[in-house]
Chain A
Amino acid sequence: MTRSERKLVNKVSIRLAAGELVGLVGPNGAGKSTLLNLLAGLVKADAGTVLLDNKNINKIPLQQKSQMLAWVAQSGPVNWPLTVERIVALGRRPHLSAWQRLTDEDTAAIEYAIAATDCQSLRHQDATTLSGGERTRMLLARALAAQPKVLLADEPIAALDLKHQLQTMQLLRQFSSGDNACLVVLHDLSMAYRFCDRLYLMSEGEMVAEGQPSDVLSDDNLKAVYGVEVIKGGGDLPYIVPVREL
């Protein structure tokens, strides 16, 4: 995909299998968000195809696609002062026709999503007054309420406090089981290392590495892509801390 002669995403191949939580990492401007938009079928690629359940995503009817796949923006506007509960309920729209009211099943999905994202205390609050982190949790709840098979989340933990970062990663981990799968863009490499089954590392629109977190986040890769030296620790609780620029 090219915009203004800049190749935003070039010759990328990415695969997401059922039951997987896959992380997409890389520096700012690497093309992670653009790739996520492409995968969600929100923008059309100049070349290449995206397959969802072995079908070309641009050929799947919009409503059917939105029942299977949910996309969570990095930061999105909330244009009218609806309550958090109403915004989360919007997640059920793909499953409803224009006049259909919410069924018990819909309500249960909404309640689950609100509880899972720790939004109970916010449910009656005006969504335009939320903090960045609260808004991210609400948008994630909206996506979960849709009960999709595939979740594409763009930096869902970037604005969150420590507790909610952990909660959200655990939630994504829990979501990515059975038939479900999740692709998540992350900047926190420690979290990516700890929670993701596999990682993709992007730089300047191209895929630099893919595979197990330990292989992808090697010292050489991090030096080459981020231009920093890091301290790493391991075991059950891996961490990666940047030390200095190279």
Chain B
Amino acid sequence: MKLSQAKLCTLLAIVALLLFIASVAIGRDSLPLLTALKDTLNGNDSVYAVILNQIRLPRALIALVAGATLGLCGAAMQGLLRNPLASPGLVGSASGAAFFAVLVLYFGTGMVPPYVLPVAGMFGALLATVLVYVLAGRDASVTTLILAGVAINALATAGMSLLLNLAPSPFAVRELVLWTLGDITDRSMNDFWLMLPTSLIGWAMLIGVGGKLDSLTLGERTAQSMGVNPVHLRWRIFIAVSLAVGAAVATVGMIGFIGLVVPHLLRPYVAHEPGRLLAASALGGACVLLAADIGVRLIPTDSPLKVGVLTALVGAPFFLHLIVRSRREYL
């Protein structure tokens, strides 16, 4: 099915908006949206206004931004690597962010102000990016970059395992593990304002790379002959993805499969063009994370279901389906 870019993006934006409103409205206690909005505008600190501004709104906004980041960065990575199985996690910044966040949880639970956790996460993401740069070298090929990213991933995972291993109490272990599962509950507007600038910088860096990714369809050499500087493009996407995904992971933990699955689902609707996929995939990612975050509230479980678990539960079988299908294609 072929939709024009404008139609597809409008459609996805409408769905994202509806899901956003639903995310604000749905929860343990139902929220009369209009009353809550009226109270907020009148400066009335009613219960409804507090629920809206301090619980529901940050949660929905963070899901929107983190989801869009994951979708966008997944599409950018798949375009850059020309591989439908690539994901934003490959650049190493996600696990760098997770490691530093876990480090803060390990040493400083309850003692540090709440903004330290996302700040540390973002620092970890940047540090991982710098390490990948140093490891791979300026003129690195895509393969070297990925290997460097995988090495940093392995290092960060090993670090996290060590912290879990040495954790002083089962409660600490539980807290560390639960954080890494990916979750958007109990976030404040401060968390949102912290993640927003870095996310926006990452997004802005990806503006205008669409045409270059299209040219890359014919291989790096041909793209180069068509005026694309492959080294610049590689680093631009790598750093953009590191910043945006780092901010997302530092705020919501590890949420897998959105960056992998969303671009793949939308690709047929943009005639497989990697450039057109970027915007669509960003909107699609926002829709999926908003929907998943509503899902965890609606699915009745004894202890609250983490949104990262839900996306993995839905995403992993899809990933398997992709592998089986690509195996069939290459036979």
Contacts and interface: CB of A to CB of B under 8 A. Distances in A.
Interface of A: 37, 40, 42, 62-63, 65-67, 69-71, 73, 76-83, 86-87, 90-91, 93-94, 96, 98-99, 139, 142, 146
A67 to B, nearest CB: 8
Interface string B272-295: 111000000000000000000000
A76 B221 contact: yes
B226 A90 contact: yes
B224 interface: yes
B218 A83 contact: no
B35 interface: no
A142 B218 contact: yes
A87 B217 contact: yes
A73 B217 contact: no
Contacts of B274: 80
Nearest to A94: B227
A62 B218 contact: no
Interface stretch (B51-59, B206-214, B306-314): B206-214
5 contacts: A62-B228, A62-B229, A79-B216, A79-B219, A82-B217
B215 interface: yes
Interface residues of B, number: 24
A93 B271 contact: no
Contacts of B267: 80
Pairs A-B, 7 closest by C-beta atoms? A66-B227, A98-B208, A79-B82, A71-B225, A63-B227, A80-B272, A77-B219
Contacts of B109: none
A79 B226 contact: no
B222 interface: yes
A87 B274 CA distance: 12
Contacts of A42: 221, 224-225
A57 to B, nearest CB: 12
Contacts of A40: 225
A74 B90 CA distance: 31
Nearest to A70: B225
Contacts of A93: 211, 214-215, 226-227
B138 to A, nearest CB: 14
A78 to B, nearest CB: 6
Contacts of B229: 62
